[in-house]
Amino acid sequence: MPETAIDYDEISKIITALTQGETDEIALMATVTCEIHHADDRFDWTGFYRNVGERTLKIGPYQGGHGCLKIPFGKGVCGVCADTGKTQLVDDVDAFDGHIACATSTQSELVIPVYGANERLIGVFDIDSDQPAAFTETDAREMSQILQNAFKSI
Ligand code: SME
């Protein structure tokens, strides 16, 4: 199990301070993505796939190399997360049936559903790592909390 380098108390405070009062989804997503992506060397691709309706996710905002523009619900790790509403912690992407390999360097992933007010599924937050089994249950729990705080009222 890798050590968690990210200081969640600190990052959470920074994101809260930066996003206070902001209700624009893209502005919030861009800020969360930027702060988290640069907070830990384990994170090689960090960003959102937005729920655009018709059971479809569309990319962005994100940091890292390019990703697939569109993912149907149920496909790949992000699509399964959107379909089930359940966090996906994948230690080995090659062992995940239907994984979408946007970057061949990706070895593990953490994908978390993002909800706004009234349980509206805004999209999913995807972090990919070039290291195997890079993510922990602590990462999943703390990231979910950050996302909930940032998006719960919009
Ligand atoms: N790995 C994701 C696809 C998106 S990217 O890698 C940026 C998946 O299987 O859902």
Q: Is 44 in the pocket of ligand 1 (CB under 6 A)?
A: no
Residue type at 4 in one-letter notation: T
Distance 138 CA to ligand 1 centre (A): 21
Query: Is 2's pLDDT higher than 70?
Result: no
Closest C-alpha among 40, 22, 26, 24 to residue 142: 40
Residue 61 Cβ contacting ligand 1 at under 6 Å? no
| Residue 7: predicted pLDDT | 96
Q: With a cut of 90, say whether residue 106 has pLDDT above it.
A: yes
Q: Which atom of ligand 1 is nearest to the CA of 128?
A: 6
Helix 137-151 vs helix 8-19: crossing angle, to nearest 10: 20
pLDDT the model gives residue 114: 98
Distance of CA 45 from the midpoint of ligand 1 (Å): 9
**pLDDT average, residue stretch 2-8:** 76
- Ligand 1 atom nearest the C-alpha of 111 is 10
CA nearest to 45, candidates 28, 33, 54, 32:
33
Exposure of 133 by Cβ count < 10 A (0-12 exposed, 13-18 middle, 19+ buried)? middle
Q: Is 88 in the pocket of ligand 1 (CB under 6 A)?
A: no
pLDDT tens string 118-127: 999 999 999 9
- Ligand 1 center to 125 CA (angstroms): 10
Residue range 77-83: average pLDDT? Answer: 98
Write out pLDDT tens, residues 20-69. Answer: 999 999 999 999 999 999 999 999 999 999 999 999 999 999 999 999 99
Give the residue among 93, 58, 60 at the shortest CA–CA distance from 73: 58
Provide the pLDDT confidence category of residue 71 given band limits of 50, 70 and 90: very high
Report whether pLDDT(1) > 60: no
Phi, psi (5° rounding) for residue 121? -80, 105
pLDDT for the residue numbered 34: 98
Residues 117-136, mean pLDDT to the nearest whole number: 97
Query: Would you say the CB of residue 89 lies under 6 angstroms from ligand 1?
Result: no
Q: How far does Cα 146 stand from its chain's mean position? A: 11
Residue 47 in contact with ligand 1 by CB distance below 6 A: no
Considering the entire predicted model, what is its pTM? 0.96
Q: Distance between CA 63 and CA 47 in Å, rounded?
A: 6
Mean pLDDT of the chain: 95
Q: How far is the CA of 100 from the centre of ligand 1 (A)?
A: 5
